[in-house]
Chain A
Amino acid sequence: MAEISPEAEDLAALIRRAQDGSEAALEILIARFQDRIAGFVYSLIGRDDAIEDLCHDIFIKMITGLSGLKNPESFEAWLFRIARNVAMDSLRRKRLWRMFVPFEPKHEQVAEAPRGDSRVEAFRTALEGMPPNQKELILLLAENDWSYEQLAEITHSSLSAVKSRLFRAREYLRQRISDED
């Protein structure tokens, strides 16, 4: 087990130690981000049965690619890009699988997430009706105050595409949430 508390160490120093091969630093790094990544993945895919597997994949990719990360300051955006890619791949595979396998109720045994307060539920309902490429931007912005440039990099989109998608997403949310009220 790592000897330094996860909150105590500066992120950049932690990343550099992890890049130098410290397993303790890696463990702290994963522990520090695992809840955020799990929440983000769950919000994107809307299923709880794949959270652990997808988080595993994400952090394995993080460990594999960490040595190539030049700038520790961009770590968070880089990690969320990995998470976004893994979650989107999973959604695509799921869609493809549904095309070839006839649907049966046992295929879709998704536990219902606990209900939040009414505002959270209104927000969730609005998000569920949103295209994934708009939803991911709203979720990313809820995680961190990313710039448009960072959002474009994370989602592999152009700056103008991010701006217009975000505009549409916000309009949609505003409309849906005011309808619910």
Chain B
Amino acid sequence: MKIESLYVEHQRRYARTHLPPDFARSVIEEARRNAGVAGLAVRLRLIAITGALCVMGAISMHWLQMQHTEQQNLQTWATTAEQIRVLEESI
């Protein structure tokens, strides 16, 4: 047997004693727990993104509505000013 193989076998035998008998099962259970936490994190992130999109949508709608109202007010003011000017001229 090659010396490297002897060494590896020796190291493996020693390292093996540091793993518990149910090592594989415990890894799988931890992976399952991690997956659960990751799934929850994904759901929370989706909720946060949806919420942020809704807020942005509401802000945009509000801004557009304000623009529209302002435009309408300006239009009304221009019409009124024109009427006043015509009235003043007729007097």
Contacts and interface: CB of A to CB of B under 8 A. Distances in A.
Contacts of B19: 34-35, 38, 51-52, 55
The 3 nearest A-B residue pairs measured at CB: A39-B12, A38-B15, A142-B4
Contacts of B31: 59-60, 63-64
B70 to A, nearest CB: 54
B11 interface: yes
Given A26-B24, A43-B11, A63-B27, 13 more contacts: A27-B28, A30-B28, A35-B19, A38-B15, A39-B12, A39-B16, A40-B11, A42-B14, A51-B19, A52-B19, A55-B23, A127-B7, A142-B5
Contacts of A51: 15, 18-19
Contacts of B2: 142
In this complex, the interface size class of chain B, counting residues with CB under 8 Å from chain A, is 20 to 34
A30 B28 CA distance: 9
Contact of B30 (A28, A36, A60, A177): A60
Given A48-B14, A113-B14, A123 B23 contact: no
Interface string A125-161: 0010000000000110111000000000000000000
B3 interface: yes
A77 B17 CA distance: 24
A52 to B, nearest CB: 6
A79 B19 CA distance: 18
B72 interface: no
A16 interface: no
A84 B72 CA distance: 69
A36 B28 contact: no
